[in-house]
Amino acid sequence: MLHYAGSELELFAAARNWKRYVARHLAPYVSGRVLDVGAGTGGNIPTLFSARVREWVALEPDPALAARISDRIAGGGLPAACRVINGTIAMISDESAFDAILYMDVLEHIADDRAELDRAASLLGSEGRLAVLAPAHRFLFSPFDVAVGHHRRYSAKRLRAMTPAGLRIRCCRSLDSVGLFASLANRLLLRSERPSTGQIAFWDGVLVPLSRLADASAGFHFGKSVLVVWSVG
């Protein structure tokens, strides 16, 4: 199995405002049988799991991280409807049919992203949805991206062009317009390989609430993250 080289999971685990904000946009598409690819420590489950979810499959290639999700489920920290698979999407049976497949800040870690999305699309049910949240803008690629194993950052245009056969775009939005300027400052001035806990707290506590207002005013046309949701048919 693979071992995750990044170290940002613990830092961003406390970004509750951001996770709730993303969940607001994704909630209409997350129901039924869900596959959470690259689930990490299960950090997205508390904000995205709802009564509309029948089963949540957390797919995580790093055995240590997968074990932490299992421990959280066993300890009651995550819903009992969750289960863990230690592996990659190549290990998922072709007979599987998911209602939603999620890549939450994961696709940028995968070398062959097009093949990954095509494989995910083949595992969707008749009304399934495929969602990707990814860091945006190639010009923001920084030492931090390198440190956590990112191959790339995305534009909405690039993700649109990667639409798997048989799917159509349901949602395409850029999020965190205010955070975009903070990321640009880090790229040009600080060149930090790892944000501090104080920087994360400021971003999540101050900048994300501002982005919730600014993003809507800007028509969700720019931000430091891009969200795309496809559906079958």
Q: What are the extents of the domains in the chain?
A: 9-232
94 CB-contact burial (10 Å; exposed 0-12 / middle 13-18 / buried 19+): exposed
Low-confidence ranges of the chain (pLDDT < 50): 1, 5-6
CA pair distance 29, 166, nearest whole angstrom = 17
Share of the chain above pLDDT 90, in %: 76
Query: What are the structure tokens assigned to 122, written together?
Result: 């083949």
Residue 129: strand pairing partners = 100, 231
> Any residues with CB less than 8 A from the CB of 216 and at least 6 apart, and which?
none
- Judge contact between 107 and 81, C-beta under 8 A: no
Query: What are the structure tokens assigned to 84, written together?
Result: 């863990």
Instruction: Name the CA dihedral angle for 116, 40, 130, 134, rounded to a multiple of 10 degrees.
Output: -80
Per-residue pLDDT, 1: 46
Per-residue pLDDT, 192: 61
| pTM strictly above 0.85 | yes
CATH topology of domain 9-232: Rossmann fold (3.40.50)
Per-residue pLDDT, 96: 86
Query: What are the structure tokens assigned to 178, written together?
Result: 């205010």
Per-residue pLDDT, 107: 95
CB atoms within 10 A of CB 122: 14
CA pair distance 211, 206, nearest whole angstrom = 9
